[in-house]
Amino acid sequence: MGNKDIVDRTYSFALRVIKLVSSLPHNKVCEVIGGQLLRSGTSVGANMEEAQAAYSKKEFCNKIGISHKEARESNYWLRLLKDSGQVKAELIKNITSESEEIVKILFSIGKKSKMTVK
Protein backbone atom coordinates (compact mmCIF):
# COMPACT_ATOMS: atom_id res chain seq x y z
CA MET A 1 0.00 0.00 0.00
CA GLY A 2 1.43 3.37 -0.98
CA ASN A 3 1.36 6.47 1.17
CA LYS A 4 -1.37 8.00 -1.02
CA ASP A 5 -3.59 4.98 -0.34
CA ILE A 6 -3.28 5.29 3.45
CA VAL A 7 -3.72 9.07 3.26
CA ASP A 8 -6.96 8.57 1.33
CA ARG A 9 -8.04 5.80 3.66
CA THR A 10 -7.49 7.89 6.79
CA TYR A 11 -9.38 10.78 5.19
CA SER A 12 -12.32 8.45 4.47
CA PHE A 13 -12.08 7.17 8.04
CA ALA A 14 -12.32 10.75 9.34
CA LEU A 15 -15.46 11.31 7.27
CA ARG A 16 -16.98 8.14 8.69
CA VAL A 17 -16.14 9.27 12.22
CA ILE A 18 -17.83 12.62 11.59
CA LYS A 19 -20.97 10.88 10.33
CA LEU A 20 -20.99 8.46 13.26
CA VAL A 21 -20.54 11.17 15.88
CA SER A 22 -23.29 13.23 14.23
CA SER A 23 -25.67 10.30 14.59
CA LEU A 24 -24.95 9.47 18.25
CA PRO A 25 -27.73 9.75 20.82
CA HIS A 26 -27.97 13.15 22.47
CA ASN A 27 -26.84 12.49 26.03
CA LYS A 28 -23.88 13.46 28.22
CA VAL A 29 -22.00 10.18 27.73
CA CYS A 30 -22.17 10.35 23.93
CA GLU A 31 -21.33 14.04 24.00
CA VAL A 32 -18.08 13.33 25.88
CA ILE A 33 -17.09 10.10 24.11
CA GLY A 34 -18.22 11.45 20.74
CA GLY A 35 -16.10 14.56 21.20
CA GLN A 36 -13.06 12.47 22.03
CA LEU A 37 -13.67 10.16 19.06
CA LEU A 38 -14.14 13.15 16.77
CA ARG A 39 -10.80 14.62 17.87
CA SER A 40 -8.81 11.40 17.61
CA GLY A 41 -10.53 10.07 14.48
CA THR A 42 -9.98 13.24 12.48
CA SER A 43 -6.44 13.63 13.81
CA VAL A 44 -5.37 10.34 12.21
CA GLY A 45 -5.81 11.75 8.71
CA ALA A 46 -4.59 15.23 9.61
CA ASN A 47 -1.29 13.83 10.84
CA MET A 48 -0.99 11.66 7.74
CA GLU A 49 -1.35 14.80 5.63
CA GLU A 50 1.34 16.50 7.69
CA ALA A 51 3.60 13.45 7.28
CA GLN A 52 3.43 13.88 3.51
CA ALA A 53 4.97 17.34 3.88
CA ALA A 54 7.64 16.32 6.39
CA TYR A 55 11.03 18.00 5.98
CA SER A 56 12.93 14.97 7.20
CA LYS A 57 12.58 11.24 7.72
CA LYS A 58 12.58 11.87 11.47
CA GLU A 59 9.66 14.29 11.17
CA PHE A 60 7.85 11.79 8.93
CA CYS A 61 8.31 9.06 11.54
CA ASN A 62 7.06 11.37 14.26
CA LYS A 63 3.86 12.20 12.35
CA ILE A 64 3.26 8.52 11.52
CA GLY A 65 3.71 7.73 15.21
CA ILE A 66 1.18 10.37 16.23
CA SER A 67 -1.26 9.12 13.60
CA HIS A 68 -0.82 5.56 14.89
CA LYS A 69 -1.50 6.64 18.48
CA GLU A 70 -4.59 8.60 17.43
CA ALA A 71 -5.90 5.55 15.53
CA ARG A 72 -5.41 3.41 18.63
CA GLU A 73 -7.23 6.02 20.70
CA SER A 74 -10.08 5.98 18.19
CA ASN A 75 -10.31 2.20 18.66
CA TYR A 76 -10.64 2.78 22.38
CA TRP A 77 -13.53 5.25 22.02
CA LEU A 78 -15.31 3.01 19.51
CA ARG A 79 -15.06 0.04 21.89
CA LEU A 80 -16.27 2.18 24.75
CA LEU A 81 -19.32 3.32 22.77
CA LYS A 82 -20.17 -0.29 21.96
CA ASP A 83 -19.40 -1.84 25.35
CA SER A 84 -21.28 0.87 27.26
CA GLY A 85 -24.39 0.15 25.21
CA GLN A 86 -24.53 3.62 23.68
CA VAL A 87 -24.54 2.14 20.16
CA LYS A 88 -25.27 -1.34 18.88
CA ALA A 89 -22.24 -3.36 17.83
CA GLU A 90 -23.68 -3.89 14.34
CA LEU A 91 -23.79 -0.13 13.74
CA ILE A 92 -20.08 0.38 14.32
CA LYS A 93 -18.72 -3.00 13.25
CA ASN A 94 -17.36 -1.73 9.91
CA ILE A 95 -15.80 1.47 11.23
CA THR A 96 -14.22 -0.47 14.10
CA SER A 97 -12.72 -2.98 11.65
CA GLU A 98 -11.42 -0.14 9.50
CA SER A 99 -9.87 1.53 12.53
CA GLU A 100 -8.14 -1.69 13.55
CA GLU A 101 -6.75 -2.15 10.04
CA ILE A 102 -5.49 1.44 9.96
CA VAL A 103 -3.68 0.84 13.27
CA LYS A 104 -1.90 -2.18 11.78
CA ILE A 105 -0.96 -0.35 8.58
CA LEU A 106 0.38 2.68 10.45
CA PHE A 107 2.36 0.47 12.81
CA SER A 108 3.94 -1.24 9.80
CA ILE A 109 4.76 2.07 8.08
CA GLY A 110 6.22 3.44 11.30
CA LYS A 111 8.34 0.37 11.91
CA LYS A 112 9.73 0.36 8.36
CA SER A 113 10.37 4.11 8.43
CA LYS A 114 12.25 3.94 11.73
CA MET A 115 14.50 1.25 10.33
CA THR A 116 15.59 3.56 7.51
CA VAL A 117 16.25 6.53 9.81
CA LYS A 118 19.09 4.80 11.66
Question: d(Cα 39, Cα 108) in Å, to the nearest integer?
Answer: 23
Q: What percent of the chain has pLDDT over 90?
A: 90
> Does the pLDDT at position 118 exceed 70?
no
Sign, Cα dihedral of 36, 42, 48, 53: negative
**pTM given for the model:** 0.91
pLDDT band of 2, cuts 50, 70, 90: low
Distance CA 25, CA 32 (A): 11
Which CATH number fits the domain that encloses residue 29?
A: 1.20.1440.60
Rounded CA-CA distance 72/115 in Å is 22
Do residues 77 and 37 make contact, with C-beta atoms less than 8 angstroms apart?
yes
Find the distance separating the first CA and the last CA of the chain, reported in whole Å: 23
Helices (H), the chain: 3-23, 28-52, 57-83, 89-117
Closest by CA position to 95, among listed 59, 58, 41: 41
CA distance 99 to 105: 10
- Structural domain including 25 reads 3-117
Average pLDDT in the 4-31 region?
Answer: 96
The pLDDT tens digits of the residues spanning 61-89 come to 999 999 999 999 999 999 999 999 999 99
- In this structure, of 30-34, 74-78, 111-115, the range with the lowest mean pLDDT score is 111-115
How many domains does the chain divide into?
1
For residue 91, is pLDDT > 80?
yes
